[in-house]
Amino acid sequence: MGVGGLSMFAEGFSQIMEPQIMLLCLAGVILGIFFGASPGMTSSMGIALILPVTYGMDIIHGMAILLGIYIGSISGGLITAILINIPGTPASVATTFDGHPMAERGEGGRAIRVGTLYSLLGGLFSLVILFAISPVLAKWALRFSYEEYFAIGVLSLTLIASLSGGSVIKGAISALIGILFTTVGMAPVDTVRRFTFGIRDLDAGFKLLPLMIGVYAVMEVIKAADAASQEKMTVLSYKSKGLGVSGKEFREQFRNFVVSAGIGTGIGILPGLGAAISNLIAYSVSKNTSKHPEKYGTGCIDGLIASETANNAVSGGAMIPLLTMGIPGDAGTAMLLAAFMLHGITPGPLLFSSHGQVIYAMFAILIVANIMMFVVQLYGLPGFLKLLMIPRNILLPVVMVLASVGAFAMNNRVFDVWSIFMFALVGYGLSKFEFPPAPVVLGFVLGPIIELNFRRGMMSSYGNFAAFFARPISGTVLVLTLLILAYQFLAGFRKKRDAKVQNGGNDV
Amino acid sequence: MEKKYKDIIVGSVLAALSVLYLLLSFQIKLTNIDRVVGSRMFPQICGTIILLLSVSLIVGGIQRAKKTGPEKAGEKRNYTRTILVLGSYAIYIFLMDKIGFTISSILYLFSQMVVMGKWPVSKKSMILYLMISVAVSAVIYVMFYRVFMLILPKAGWF
């Protein structure tokens, strides 16, 4: 990074060294840990709920609280995962595998400490990668034209659809439904009205915030209402001291840490995957390469470290495509993208030259937020556990009211609140038929990017689609996309055939 | 609904909706600004892909339904709470526009806590819910309207 890198940090920190910004960041981290620890509430929901509060702030103040939530929420999930055996967010599913057995053995406090320490280390690792790669990538991405953005958009969508879990067809349909919602309103390029049926409110199209709240938050309320018999959560004891790992253990775990952090950061960079998958992949890689795989699942710190390092390492990785290309890596960064737009800033390679100071301030905030997360999570644990005991039938209605206020305040129209309701119906319908919700959100974000760049690219090549393959980067990315699609198709076909052979054509 | 017909049902609904979407897309005006692609093509490409995927969902569903024998009817689910949750939210949005944010929020919070809580609701929790509803609405009003300077839905009252 050299001198340029140092001055970058000096500039970033000088901008955020202000009590108000620090307090906002701290508030964000506390809220984030709470959202992360509350089952059913995720980082993207937390950001969506707090976003309205930032409408009146400048971008750096707003980012302080939003990034605080983003960082806090990924780590907060470990509290419930370890002490109650319920992952607070999908990002901490693998944390329950070894974290909870440790707590059952009476080592809950140690598990929390180890998890929090490696959350911090994983987060910082990914930030180093972010700081090193993003300026270079941004410079490189300056040369990207419509063709490249189109190709990357299509690749992202393909990855999201095929890796969101469950059926690939359903994942793809979810993503396309997200895109269809973006075709309502003014079209890009020629601003023709589409699917507005003469309704003025539809001219501006739907917004991400109502979609997110509708698909995720309302769904949680319905689920909680369905599970009417509210089971009592039992919290295991968590008394402990120190960092939880000795120097010797730290050295033993170093390889595990680096591999898991690398996996997390890499998955963060790939669009659409995110923390929910990283912890499971890191856990299985760690287990498969371990000398004692049989200990995994019985409460060994290796598994805990793999999971908590990887999910927090996603945070820095996911910021890379967001900041350099304006393409969000997961639902949380999609919400951050919406926050940028609200403050009149469009992420992309130009951001580094036009709003360099904002980027440096964000880098500084990310470092501060990670450290705050570590301190707050360790020392505020009893407080968070008390907050978690708030019954869900009291908490979730309050969330709904906050979400509605946020949606309304965006444009001061009740129409946006009604669209929450509509998206809730869509989300409920989709979940009943086992369609994953995440691709809907990312399809909604990527749809306009893909369409706009498709049209501009086609216009500049006078309608020749081959031009998208003629440029080296876009051509490579598109060929890669086709290969993934072909692989998915063949894999599905083979699975069917194998099943037929094995079961004699009876049961699949 | 029997589980094995799930994909066939949802595939048919999606196929029908995508056909409707494709038909409506022909109403989109074409302009001289962009003669190469126009505003129709992208929705039509996406609509067509959804249609194809829905059809493959139906085909896969039929194949599976043929193979599996008759299924025992799944456990009966009670949708009362789901309907109450969605219904009260719709009423909340409607009232927000008519009687303002604060009062509608109190009503919504209270009814929602009752709907989602343990039934039957004891007198003690009723009072608790009511107090929380009023307090939360008041705090949100003060915070958002006074501190963060956001506009809240209002009608003459608050």
Asked if residue A160 is part of any domain, the answer here is yes
Quote the minimal CA–CA distance from B72 to chain A in Å: 16
% pLDDT > 90, chain A: 32
Q: What is the mean pLDDT of chain A?
A: 86
B116/A52 touch (CB, cutoff 8 Å), yes or no = no
Has this prediction a pTM greater than 0.90?
A: no
Tell which wins on pLDDT, A333 or A489: A333
Give the C-alpha separation, B58 to A367, whole Å.
50
pLDDT at A326: 87
Give pLDDT tens digits for A92-136.
889 999 999 999 888 888 999 999 999 999 999 999 999 999 988
Nearest one of A355, A421, A415 to A217, comparing CA atoms: A421
In this structure, is residue A487 part of a structural domain? no
> How many independent structural domains does chain A possess?
1
Confidence grade of residue A29 (pLDDT, cut at 50, 70, 90): very high
Residue with tokens 């962009």: B34
Structure tokens at A213: 């709240």
Instruction: Round the CA-based radius of gyration of chain B to a whole number and report it.
Output: 24
CB contact under 8 A, A396 and B116: yes
More confident residue, A246 or B3: A246
Blockwise average pLDDT, block size 10, chain B, 158 residues: 78 94 89 79 93 92 78 63 89 89 92 84 88 92 77 59
- Please tell me whether the interface predicted TM-score (ipTM) of this complex is above 0.95: no
Task: Dihedral sign for Cα A40, A42, A44, A45, please.
Answer: positive
Amino acid letter for position A359: I
From the number of C-beta atoms within 10 Å of its C-beta (0-12, 13-18, 19+), residue A58 rates as exposed
Residue A508 clears pLDDT 50, i.e. is over it: no
> Has residue A212 been placed in a domain?
yes
Contact B86 A425 (CB under 8 A): yes
- Model pLDDT, residue B75: 55
Cβ-contact A272, A246 below 8 angstroms: no
Locate the domains of chain B by residue range: 3-67, 80-147
- A482, part of any domain: no
Q: Is residue A360 within 8 Å of residue A127, measured between CB atoms?
A: no
A257 pLDDT above the threshold of 90: yes
Tokens at residue A446, please?
A: 């990527």
What single string gives the DSSP state of each residue in A80-137?
HHHHTSS-SSGGGHHHHHHHHHHIIIIIHHHHHHHHHHHHHHHHHHHHHHHHHHHHHH
Confirm whether A371 is domain-assigned. yes
Fill in the DSSP letter of residue A18. S
In a domain, A311, yes or no: yes
Gap from B112 CA to chain A (nearest CA, Å): 6
**The pLDDT of residue A227:** 66
- Tokens standing for residue A107: 């080592």
Range of the domain at A218: 2-470
Residue A47 lies in a domain: yes
Instruction: Please report whether residue A505 resides in a domain.
Output: no
Which residues of chain A are within 8 Å of residue B137 when distances are taken between CB atoms?
A: 401
Cβ separation of B90 and A53 shorter than 8 Å? Answer: no
pLDDT over 90 at A251, yes or no: no
The residue of chain A with its CA nearest to that of B111 is A397
Give the pLDDT confidence of A359-392 residue by residue, as tens digits.
889 999 999 999 999 999 999 998 888 888 888 8
Of B33, B46, B81, the CB nearest to A176: B46
Q: Is A504 on the interface with B (CB under 8 A)?
A: no
Question: Does the structure show a pLDDT above 90 at A223?
Answer: no
Listed in sequence order, the residues at least 6 apart from A428 whose beta carbon sits closer than 8 Å to its beta carbon are A218, A219, A222, B82, B86
A54 SS3 class: helix
Q: Does pLDDT of A3 surpass 60? A: no
Q: Report chain B residues whose CB lies below 8 A from the CB of A433.
A: 6-7, 9-10
Contact residues, A window 48-67, toward B, CB-based 8 Å cutoff: 52-53, 55-56
Q: What pLDDT does A197 receive? A: 85
Cβ separation B67–A505 shorter than 8 A? yes
pLDDT at A403: 86
